[in-house]
């Protein structure tokens, strides 16, 4: 099957080493994908009319990437994984094995290593997340710990909970 969007991207200079293995849905606007030093590697899928890829970016270098209504600022590199409704402000690097969902914002030069899962997370500039992180699970575990501490009746339980929540900036 011929994909007119892929052909248009190739004409404007987007590098797609194996175009037959890339899927770009018809609702993706090719004008929202820069032709300046952008590479889309094999096995990648791009969907959603809000999808944006700015210059000097690459997706899928280590493993296929699925982008759905995700915004990539300049010089963003997503090495592999699933990204839906996320924003990368620019100069971002994300390792393979990602699972990034709606409401996630990476400000300039914020990065993540491999196998990181995020939703409704904001990373400020210059922050780097290590490997094997799932913030949805971490927050659930913290809330479970808070309940256990409260049930313990320990005289310092309120102070302990306050310190945990303050460290996480969690109300």
pLDDT in tens, the chain (171 residues): 468 999 999 999 999 999 999 999 999 999 999 999 999 999 999 999 999 999 999 999 999 999 999 999 999 999 999 999 999 999 999 999 999 998 888 889 999 999 988 888 888 788 888 887 776 544 444 555 556 555 666 555 555 555 555 555 544
Residue 148's H or E segment, with its range, is: helix 135-152
Which of 70, 63, 66, 65 lies closest to 33, judged by CA?
70
Return the number of other C-beta atoms located less than 10 Å from residue 23's C-beta.
16
What does pTM read for this prediction?
Answer: 0.78
């Amino acid at each position: 099957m011929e994909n007119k969007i892929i052909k248009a991207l190739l004409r404007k200079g987007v590098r797609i080493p194996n175009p037959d293995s890339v899927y770009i849905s018809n609702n993706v606007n090719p004008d929202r994908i820069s032709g300046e030093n952008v590479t889309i590697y094999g096995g990648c899928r791009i969907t959603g009319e809000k999808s944006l890829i700015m210059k000097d970016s690459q997706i899928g270098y280590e493993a296929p990437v699925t982008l759905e209504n995700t915004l990539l600022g300049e010089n963003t590199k997503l090495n592999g994984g699933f990204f839906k409704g996320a924003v990368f402000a620019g100069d971002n690097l994300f390792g393979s094995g990602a699972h990034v969902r709606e409401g996630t914002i990476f400000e300039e030069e914020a990065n993540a290593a491999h196998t990181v899962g995020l939703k409704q997370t904001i990373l400020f500039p210059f922050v780097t997340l290590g490997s094997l992180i799932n913030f949805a699970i971490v927050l659930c575990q913290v809330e479970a710990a808070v309940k256990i501490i409260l049930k313990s009746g320990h005289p310092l339980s309120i102070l302990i909970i306050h310190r945990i929540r303050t460290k996480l900036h969690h109300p």
